[in-house]
Amino acid sequence: MPDEPVGEPIIVARDVTKVYRPGQESSVALRGVNLTVHPGEFVAIVGPSGSGKSTLLNLFAGLDRPSSGSICVQGLDLSTLNEDRLARWRGQAVGIVFQFFQLLPTLTALENVMLAMELSGRFRGDRQRRAKECLAEVGLAELADHLPSELSGGEQQRVAIARALANDPPILLADEPTGNLDWDTGQRIVELLAGLSARGKTVLLITHERDLAARATRVIEMRDGRIIGGE
């Protein structure tokens, strides 16, 4: 294999299947997915709607569990964690970014980012300092005191990325983060993710847009619950 990365992988999925609502009304979302991702990679996941992209990302985030197969992150088999430990693990291991930002409308940008550190055990002053640092990292230092409704879509997505960075997780998972943004703004969000990956984060980005995916270091393509290229 050319360019085989050296060192331990950060994410390993083995023979992963996911069946929603097992039984008569079942819906098979993943049909045996194998994937290995190395630290610092920037992986784009493309494929038609319904092909299982979000399901796979949610499993990597520990938001859901596979029906069979295993997911290991940083050498840890997520199936060995109970719900409490999985939630705590998620808080420090992954930052998640969604299409519709999911900011709390009554909190300022700074407060939204600080909220992500609520369970971190850090003192308030420390959380505030870290939140400012993260907003600066996404270019929003000046807008820290604004409410989401006072920000553009691109700015709101930057706040969401700052929030995802708050606990300094090694992995960022972004599910169509540009799906609600115009083309230029989407480009800039993907540039931001590329920069974070260049500084050591492992980034997985789901996108419908080929030109955005092209910015990644690897593109994997999903079809009907399977990876059909790039794994």
Show the beta-strand stretches assigned E in the chain. 11-20, 27-37, 42-46, 68-73, 76-77, 94-97, 171-175, 202-206, 218-223, 226-229
In whole angstroms, the minimum distance from the beta carbon of 53 to Mg ion comes to: 5
Q: Does 229 bind ligand ADP (CB under 6 A)?
A: no
Nearer to ligand ADP by C-beta: 41 or 175? 175
Q: How far apart are CA 206 and CA 33, in angstroms?
A: 16
Q: Does 178 bind ligand ADP (CB under 6 A)?
A: no
Q: Does 24 bind ligand ADP (CB under 6 A)?
A: no
Q: What angle do CA 231, 83, 79 make, to 5 degrees?
A: 40
In whole angstroms, the minimum distance from the beta carbon of 127 to Mg ion comes to: 31
In whole angstroms, the minimum distance from the beta carbon of 40 to Mg ion comes to: 25
Q: Which amino acid belongs to residue 152? A: S
Number of residues that bind ligand ADP (CB under 6 A): 12
**For ligand ADP, which residue of 5, 8, 22, 27 counts as binding (CB under 6 A)?**
27
DSSP 20: E
**For ligand ADP, which residue of 49, 75, 184, 200 counts as binding (CB under 6 A)?**
49
Q: Find which of ligand ADP, Mg ion, none residue 52 binds, CB within 5 to 8 Å per kind.
A: ligand ADP
In whole angstroms, the minimum distance from the beta carbon of 160 to Mg ion comes to: 16
Number of residues that bind Mg ion (CB under 5 A): 1
The answer for residues whose C-beta is within 8 angstroms of residue 4's C-beta and 6 or more apart is none
3-state SS, residue 128: helix
